[in-house]
């Protein structure tokens, strides 16, 4: 299925459960992808997210040059690729070509979006030089968001038994897969 647009005030729900993401970036002819387990939703409207991007990464260079990046939410099918793109730098080779990762164009930013993911958030950096320098912490405003309608629609995840799920990195190549959904209703 083709990705469908997620209303921006609902974009935080793509990250609320803490999935590991793939950060894509681009500047001029250069593009890159890395894994990031340290990310979170930060606000509803306008939606904002936070992600840690280490100083040594090539991704950091491209994000600082372009002021934009995307968070791509992979499923288990991309777990090996997640570890691979999180274990070597794109300064040395094109990770998309090396790992046969297909992309499609984002709407608002130059960074490519990774095919086969469950959802995508296009972000513009909100400059916070102290946090970036001191903590490697980048805050982004989400300017467009997309999801596979089979797993996220009407502002909610719909993870049927056989649905692909997002993944949560532990360490040493081990992940949890997003588990069973249960609902206690809303009060008030
Ligand atoms: C599963 C996983 C999660 C990671 N999470 C983060 C993270 O949150 N922040 C970070 O700076 N690096 C993280 N890394 C490390 C980067 O992905 C790694 O340094 C990567 O090689 C950088 O690539 P680049 O130099 O091409 O940008 C993670 C690695 C893995 C395997």
| DSSP sequence for 80-96 | HHHHHHTSS-TTTS-HH
Alpha-carbon Rg for the chain, nearest whole angstrom, is 16
Residue 32 CB–ligand 1 contact under 6 Å: yes
Residue 52 CB–ligand 1 contact under 6 Å: yes
pLDDT at 125 over 80: yes
| Confidence class for position 15, pLDDT limits 50, 70, 90 | very high
Determine the pLDDT at residue 186: 83
Dihedral through CA 9, CA 13, CA 14, CA 18, nearest 10? 140
Residues contacting 119, CB < 8 A, separation 6+: 3, 6, 14, 72, 73, 145, 146, 147, 148, 151, 152
Task: Name the residue of 18, 23, 37, 90 to mutate for ligand 1: max ligand atoms within 8 A of Cβ.
Answer: 37
pLDDT at 188 over 90: no
pLDDT at 2 over 80: yes
**Domain range 4-177, CATH architecture:** Roll (2.30)
**For residue 113, what is the DSSP state?**
E
In a 3-state reduction of DSSP, which class is residue 57?
A: coil
Q: Distance between CA atoms of 53 and 35, rounded to whole angstroms?
A: 10
- 154: left (phi > 0), else alpha (psi -120 to 50), else beta? left
**For residue 67, what is the DSSP state?**
S
pLDDT in tens, 131-167: 999 999 999 999 999 999 999 999 999 999 899 999 9
In a 3-state reduction of DSSP, which class is residue 124?
A: strand
In a 3-state reduction of DSSP, which class is residue 154?
A: coil
Which atom of ligand 1 sits closest to the CA of residue 34? 17
- The residue whose C-alpha atom lies closest to atom 23 belonging to ligand 1 is 89
In a 3-state reduction of DSSP, which class is residue 69?
A: strand
pTM for the predicted model, two decimal places: 0.98
3-class SS shares of the chain: helix, strand, coil, % to 5: 20, 40, 45
In a 3-state reduction of DSSP, which class is residue 163?
A: coil
Q: What's the Cα-to-Cα distance from 44 to each of 13, 81, 158, rounded to whole Å?
A: 9, 30, 20
pLDDT at 66 over 90: yes
Determine the pLDDT at residue 180: 92
Residue 53 CB–ligand 1 contact under 6 Å: yes
């Amino acid at each position: 299925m083709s990705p469908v647009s997620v209303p921006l005030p609902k974009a935080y729900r793509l990250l609320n459960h803490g999935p590991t993401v793939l950060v894509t970036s681009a500047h001029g002819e250069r593009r890159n992808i890395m894994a990031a387990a340290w990310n979170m939703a930060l606000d509803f409207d306008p939606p904002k997210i936070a992600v840690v991007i280490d100083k040594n990464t090539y991704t950091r260079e491209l994000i600082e040059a372009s002021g934009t990046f995307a968070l791509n939410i992979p499923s288990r099918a991309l777990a090996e690729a997640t570890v691979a793109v999180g274990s070597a730098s794109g300064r040395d080779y094109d990770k998309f070509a090396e790992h046969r990762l297909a992309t499609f164009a984002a709407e608002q930013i130059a960074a490519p979006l990774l095919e086969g993911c469950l959802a995508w958030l296009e972000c513009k950096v909100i400059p916070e030089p102290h946090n970036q320098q001191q903590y490697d912490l980048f805050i982004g405003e989400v300017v467009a968001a997309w999801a596979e309608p089979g797993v996220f629609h009407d502002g909610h995840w719909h993870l049927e038994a056989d649905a692909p799920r997002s993944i949560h990195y532990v360490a040493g190549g081990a992940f949890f897969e997003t588990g069973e959904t249960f609902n206690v209703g809303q009060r008030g």
